[in-house]
Structure 1
């Protein structure tokens, strides 16, 4: 809860904004301040992240700071704006989307020397709202807080949550819900859809300005390349190939992989109806709006390549300038896109080697991985729990039974286990070294959907934030052994299962 006014008198929040995006041409955004809310109250402040950004957490937690986080006050040096972008949504192109309920307060350089955007999400209507109310409900705000911080703790590139505040107002969805505002931190909010926005308008000058901005912000080495825009495309493709491989290794399902939700920086962005898969099944879908399963778990690599193809199309005018002809530009784009699949496969297989305790490479490693996944699919085995229990089996056969119990067809798993042990004998490391390494690749804790939903329900319906705080503490250290928290490692019981997740709008 926000502190007393006496605290506010002592602390004034300082952000040291730089605001390079606001210096771009006016057609890149709409300038406007956030819409004030009735009664802002601080729910959660990410003190560790605040310090990384060079912001005093006490200042942010003061009344003055909470007013900034809620959108009631514009911080010194802030130049608030809503960014313009387009995007393919479930395969259909929308030429103008933009920040319909978000406000970029500005950019700053953290103590790590990296640049960050500070954005309010749920901060009111903008020229891009398309009839929406511009607000966010408390549940989706807390979901993004939990899942984005879990992804950060798991080592996945992601936007972060700096703060969540309630507004003292209700937002109307299917029912009236408590309103909230999330303060989101990102390396930038540039998206594939941002490039599509200018390409759709045949605004080559705007496209070039945007590409140069992206290079300076995220891919400075590309500026030194013989073909900078091709190097930019190569860089985005490489980062996204590695990112989606990490999603697949953890069972993460984004849920809304539209091109406007595909970041140029290579971060996971826009946690709407996202979820972590429990029983392994490539066809798993949680998003209530994904009726056709376009963004199912197993489709994510293919969809990412599709999205990156849209980026390559948007960049064609700049590639043509570099290559000298339209045909040469097409060849260059296709050559860049052809690198996605091998990069993804290498990252995925390397990740699975780590999960299986393999330090060297063998030709049949991919077959061993696929056999295990097929067994998990056939036996409805929990992906996270299965790999975590393999860490114990890596110490010796005495750990086998805990894993075997997850497979109804124990005979099939036993056959795989024999081959895995033969493979481990080819490795130079001791069982304890292997198990220790595996525990750093196989989390004990993920934000399981039923636990997330329980935390959101308690907060939204009863103003009880204890389940939220407890879950946040658990997922902040996902690789640690914490025997007292066994219930957080277990999949949902039948009556607890969450089959659908919902977008905040």
Structure 2
């Protein structure tokens, strides 16, 4: 049943509970809809039947100024299930294209999502406008052969990973809610339809610019660029060459995002250019994974037969995607400065990665040998298939005294001689630091999470949710909001994965 058919009943439900005010007072600034009509398709969402709230993220509620709305509010439930639009909401599906697995696809766009509105945040001192995007909202002109729906499992995974990345301090889109309905959809089997409300500073992707470049609609490409600079990169407008200044920022934020992913052991799974945020934020969570037993060549997407998006390929793919974006700017500027800017990518990435890895190792100073120390450690972790997150958390207990017993860490390795050799180098490197072990432990535990969203945990939460038990989803949201704390009541969520949960391979609808 569509929102049009449900609208009257929805208003009656909301008014009867007197919970309309906060949601209808959202301050909309729908600047994307001021672009020409062929940039998107305006349409209403196809709301879920019999919606049930699976989870609400309280941090995102506060971000939007909705923290005074009761969690079981009828208005909020109806909004998040596509059954109610507050005043000022003008839903639209964006048109864009992109390279998928290295091949250009002209037939892309918001095929199952709608930009509901752009709203001002809760902080009067902050002028940020937030996109509210409803994923799973039904067919659009860009759905191709799809049904426009999202399933419960993919919705829970995106919701949880958005919270996990935010808690880790990694640039990311966020998610307000997951709602499930009684509607069914067919994937590999019959599944429950669900929706996520994604919250982001922008949904502009690399593919937006590729669309107008490859169709040679250069006036529209310039409009898209000027819109993006005005609303998201205003500081570049006064630069000598604004588009080049814009590109430099995107190269920097993308390179640093890749470093964050590598440092925490995150595998995105589908780094197509239509899944790349112009703001350097983690975008479009599909078949993602965090490393369990460390494997540089880990591929988590079961359709990635060539390993294009393997963990160790992500930095190079980031470079390739930036090259594709840069090509879209060539109608307006010389290629040489774009190439010069692109060539800064490796240095930016490596500098950020070494900074993050030094933090994980408890190193405050910078030494020329640090790169080799990090490289040797990663090789040793891979050769013994050591759990990545567990190792770094445990490493904070390393005793730097010569001849000290570090057996608990050493026992994680099959090749103990390899660990011993690395440990000697680490011990020597720690001797160059001024901090004592206790201080180092505190600093390391502030950057090495105890809790990550392991795939087996996400799967357990999904399995319980299909039986209408949402407790694990909500426990994970609470713990992942601060993954560095001990959370003694939730020790089970820090456990190593069972055999069935290691190196899970997932589909794009997972």
Distance 2:53 2:391 in 1: 38
Alignment check: 8 A CA contact 2:180 2:193 kept: yes
Question: Who is 2:201 aligned against?
Answer: 187
Q: Is the 8 A contact 2:53 2:178 kept in 1?
A: yes
Whether 1:149 and 2:163 are equivalent positions in the alignment is yes
* Equivalent-residue separation in structure 2 for 1:65 and 1:357 (angstroms): 44
Structure-1 separation of matches of 2:462 and 2:422 = 40
- Aligned mate of 2:81, from 70, 74, 87: 70
- Deviations 1:37-91 (CA, angstroms, capped at 9, x unpaired): 2212222112221111122452674212221211112221011100010011111
Structure 1 segments unaligned to the other structure (5+ residues): 320-328
C-alpha contact 1:120 1:183 (8 A) present in aligned 2? yes
Whole-angstrom CA distance in 1 between matches of 2:255 and 2:321 = 12
Partner of 1:360: 365
**Corresponding residue for residue 178 of structure 2:** 164
| Corresponding residue number in structure 2 for 1:125 | 139
1:249-272 Cα distance to aligned partner (Å, 9 max, x none): 011000000000000011100000
Helix, strand or coil for the counterpart of 1:481?
coil
Deviates further, 494-503 or 236-245:
494-503
Q: Is the 8 A contact 2:255 2:346 kept in 1?
A: yes
Cross-structure match for 1:87: 98
Partner of 1:208: 222
Out of 321, 346, 349, the residue aligned to residue 351 of structure 2 is: 346
- Equivalent in the alignment of 1:402: 408
Q: Are the aligned partners of 2:48 and 2:193 in contact in 1 as well (CA < 8 Å)?
A: no
**Greater shift after overlay, 365-374 or 69-78?**
69-78
State the match for 2:329 in structure 1: 315
Deviation at 1:366, TM superposition (A): 0.3
- Could you say if the C-alpha distance between residues 61 and 493 of structure 1 is closer, same or farther in structure 2, counting changes exceeding 3 Å? closer
Distance 1:109 1:490 in 2: 40
Shift of 1:425: 1.3
**Unaligned ranges ≥5, structure 2:** 1-9
Per the normalisation by structure 1, the TM-score is 0.94
In structure 2, relative to structure 1, the CA distance for the partners of 1:466 and 1:86 (3 Å cut) is: same
CA 1:430–1:458: 2 relative to 1, 3 Å: same
The equivalent residue for 2:455 is 449
**Stretch of structure 1 that moved more, 146-155 or 425-434:** 425-434
Aligned: 1:106 with 2:117: yes
Could you say what secondary structure the match of 1:88 adopts?
strand
Q: Kindly indicate whether residue 275 of structure 2 is the aligned counterpart of residue 269 of structure 1.
A: no
Q: Does 1:175 align with 2:189?
A: yes
Cα distance 1:212–1:437, how it changes in 2: closer, same or farther (>3 A)? same
Aligned length: 494
Residues 363-412 of structure 1 deviation map (CA, whole Å, 9 limit, x = unaligned)? 11000001111110111011111111111115767672221111111122
Partner of 2:479: 474
- What does residue 424 of structure 2 align with? 418
For structure 1, which segment, 181-190 or 199-208, has the greater mean C-alpha deviation from structure 2 after superposition?
Answer: 199-208
User: Residue 4 of structure 2 corresponds to which residue in structure 1?
Assistant: none
Deviation at 1:296, TM superposition (A): 0.3
Match of 1:325 in 2: none
Q: How big is the shift at 1:498?
A: 5.0
- What are the equivalent positions in structure 2 for 1:195-344 lying under 5 Å apart? 195-319=209-333, 329-344=334-349
Q: Are the structure 2 counterparts of residues 476 and 169 from structure 1 closer, same or farther at C-alpha, using a change threshold of 3 Å?
A: same
Q: CA RMSD in A?
A: 1.9
TM-score normalized with structure 2 length:
0.93
